[in-house]
Amino acid sequence: MNLKVRKKLRHLNRYIPLYLMMLPGVIYIIINNYIPMLGLRIAFKQYNYTKGISASKFVGFKNFEFLFKTKDAFVITRNTLCYNAAFIILGTVLAIAVAILLNDIKAVRLKKIYQTIILIPFLISMVVVSYLAYAFLSSDSGFINNSILIPLGIKPVPWYSSPKYWPFILTIVHLWKGFGYTSIIYFATLAGIDKGYFEAAAIDGASRWQQIKHVTLPCLKPTIITLTLMSIGRIFYSDFGLFYQVPLNSGLLVDVTNTIDTYVYRGLITLNNVSMASAAGFYQSVVGFILVLTANFVVKKLSEENALF
Amino acid sequence: MVERKISFQIMANIILIILAILCLLPFILLIVSSFTDELTLTHYGYRFFPKKLSLDAYRYLLVDSTTIIKSYIISFGVTIVGTLANVFLTVLFAYPLSRKDLPGRQIFSFFIFFTMLFNGGLVPSYIMWTQVFHIKNTWWAYIIPGLMMSAFYVIMMRTYFTTNIPEAVIEAARMDGATERHILTSIVLPMSIPIVATVTLLVGLSYWNDWINGLYYINKDTMYSIQSLLNKMLMDVQFLLSNAQSGASINQDIVLPSTGIKMAIAVMGAVPILMIYPFFQKYFIKGIIIGAVKG
């Protein structure tokens, strides 16, 4: 027995250098990721800055009661889910269309140039994107008001105080920034398809549209499932910069731009209402987690090999 | 048949050219406005073909440049230090994970993977970083929270190691008495330059572009990175707007950077990336493709 244990220890001994290598990463992940998970219990407390989380008073579900009594909870959930749903559907369709076009381009040089250019918006920070949007939308000096609407004799629009346009503006900005990235992923999958399928289909007299329907899309199915699954897993989260920065944090637009992330930030920093912010944050973490597990479970039922885990 | 193919090629090219132009137009508008004369800007707004060009914005930035230079130093410093730290942590974590014989490998994999599924969110993190570690208004605020290691890149690198480095090579080196550190530095890393380059670029990009840590943890004027400075100036625009809407007159004494200068700084926030991008684009594209394949 003793000998066995010692042998096992000697065996583990060999791996000590490897464990030591992982140590810094483990420490970082514990501090950066796991300790805040434990901190989620703050949602059940009345937080007191001087006492800290542990010593603050336990109040049960009171923070949640406050949150769900207001219409905020409904608005932020609706906005987060609806925007994400629109982004997933439109984003996927656009990206696949672009990937198919890219894949069909014969000239190799041109193909490279297109790939390079459509990725540029993806590389730029949301702050710079906000400046780009501002250059178009500013009511006094914006390009759209000054160079399009006024010359056409249309009354200029005060964009940053007209909520009705923002669902479209945010969707366009999101698609503009992200379509290159997703297109490249689909394009890479397409490039891996055996050309023989297309030739066979063409010989059988399949039109372009039929080829896309019967060869291209079935080949893309695993990628579509994986990417959509990842987006559905993140459907309770939103791009903070897009919803906070691009509308310039304008109070008049809050109804159509407030998502769970911006709500938590405003609650914590601007309003200094830790209870409300932490309740909303808890709601996001837990429901978000359930959604990832559910999405993965459904995919596992439908087609095992496409599941994430 | 052949004719139809040619017409399809033309159509596909036209659509892609239009998309490419749509991607570039906003940048062109931004750059042109930064070179536009201030009076022309106030009269005619942002235009692609302004009546009068001027270098005033950039002259101003170069003469009265302490803010900009300072924020550039912070941005470059943070990007370099943060990226090195991240890649260091990632390689050191990913290599042992890639070793199929490591006892407890599954546990460590789950440990890192779980952070992609569940997180504590902003409130507990914010309280921890500010109340326990006191990183507010320090360089640490830009480097440490959230960005210094990511499960995504660890898994990406681990997958690369497992699929590209034969176990036999590592085993042979061990037989020859090489230490684990040696195996990592003289065998694994030289064989993994593409993935290390890709991760370095993607991490560098997220450090350079990050303004969220600045928004959360920095409120001291001398501590703004270029992205945080941009963010602050954008909020000043909002401040002006909200004043105008409530009918209050704008105080003429407040010296706000003029519109052209704002655009010039935005250009300076984007230019380093746009400049290095053409040289490294194949790594970016490769990174996106590898990242999409599940670990």
Which domains are assigned to chain B?
64-293 (1.10.3720.10)
What is the Cα–Cα distance from B14 to B8, expressed in whole angstroms?
A: 10
Are A59 and A46 in contact, with CB atoms under 8 Å apart?
A: yes
Q: Do A285 and B119 touch (CB under 8 A)?
A: yes
Rounded Cα distance, A264 and A258, in Å: 10
- Measure the N-to-C terminal CA separation of chain A; round to a whole number of Å: 38
| pLDDT tens per residue, range B56-84 | 888 877 776 677 888 889 999 999 999 99
pLDDT tens track for B146-172: 899 999 899 989 989 998 899 899 989
Q: How many CB pairs under 8 A join A and B?
A: 280
**SS3 assignment, position B148:** coil
For B122, which of A176, A251, A265 is closest by C-beta distance? A265
Closest residue, chain B, to A251 (C-alpha): B242
CB atoms within 10 A of CB B60: 17
Confidence category of residue B227, pLDDT binned at 50, 70, 90 = very high
The residue-averaged pLDDT of B131-160 equals 92
Structure tokens given for A234 = 């993140």
Over the stretch A114-152, which tens digit does the pLDDT of each residue have?
999 999 999 999 999 999 999 999 888 889 998 899 889
The three-state secondary structure class of B247 is coil
Structure tokens at A223: 């990628």
A76 within 8 A of A266, measured Cβ to Cβ: no
Mean pLDDT (whole number) for B228-244:
69
CA-to-CA distance for A102 and A203, rounded, in angstroms? 23
Cβ within 8 Å, pair B102-A35 = no
Domain range annotation of chain A: 68-306
pLDDT for B5: 73
Determine contact, residues A63/A279, Cβ cutoff 8 Å. Answer: yes
Interface test with A, best of B122, B152, B242, B243 (most A CBs within 10 A): B122
Percent pLDDT > 90 in chain B is: 44
Query: Which CA distances in Å does B292 have to A87, A216, A269?
Result: 18, 18, 35
Total Cβ atoms within 10 A of residue A309: 12
B80 in helix, strand or coil?
helix
> Residue A212: which pLDDT band, with cuts at 50, 70 and 90?
confident
A49, A50, A74, A285, B9 from A56: Cα distances, Å: 9, 9, 28, 21, 67
A79: Cβ contacts below 8 Å, ≥ 6 apart? A238, A243, A256, A257, A258, A259
Q: How far apart are CA A195 and CA A187, in angstroms?
A: 14
Query: Taking 70 as the threshold, does the pLDDT of residue A213 lie above it?
Result: yes
User: Which pLDDT value is given to residue A282?
Assistant: 93
Among the partner-chain residues A102, A143, A274, the one whose CB lies closest to the CB of B123 is: A274
Q: Tell me which residue of A127, A170, A242, A139 sits closest to B262, measured CA to CA.
A: A127
Q: Which residues of A touch B211 (CB under 8 A)?
A: 125-127, 241
Enter the pTM of the model: 0.89
Alpha-carbon span B209 to A263, nearest angstrom: 23
The Cα of B287 is separated from the nearest Cα of chain A by a number of Å equal to: 10
**What is the C-alpha separation between B148 and B115, in angstroms, rounded?**
14
CA B144/CA B128 separation, integer angstroms: 12
Q: Which residue has the higher pLDDT, A261 or A198?
A: A261
Report which of B197, B196, B258, B234 is spatially closest to residue A241, judged by C-alpha positions. B234
Instruction: State the ipTM, two decimals.
Output: 0.88
Chain B residue nearest residue A222, CA to CA: B293
Distance from CA of A219 to the nearest CA of B (A): 15
Is the Cβ pair A98, B208 closer than 8 Å? no
Which residue among A37, A118, A125 sits closest to B19, beta carbon to beta carbon? A118
Closest by Cα among A51, A32, A33 to A42:
A51
For the stretch A37-62, pLDDT in tens is 998 888 888 888 777 777 788 888 88
Taking a C-beta distance cutoff of 8 angstroms, is the pair A158, A252 a contact?
Answer: no
pLDDT tens per residue, range A154-192: 999 999 989 999 999 999 999 999 999 999 999 988 888
Q: Compute and round to an integer the Cα radius of gyration of chain A.
A: 25
pLDDT of residue B2 exceeding 80, the answer is no
Q: B229-241: b or e for each residue (b if 16 or more CB lie within 10 Å)?
A: bbbbbbeebbeeb
User: Would you call B29 and A136 a contact, using CB atoms and an 8 Å cutoff?
Assistant: yes
Domain at A68-306, CATH from 3.20.20.70, 1.10.3720.10, 3.40.50.300, 1.20.120.450: 1.10.3720.10
Distance (Å, rounded) from C-alpha A170 to C-alpha A215?
34
Instruction: Work out the burial of residue B210: count CB atoms within 10 Å of its CB; fewer than 13 is exposed, 13-18 middle, 19 or more buried.
Output: buried
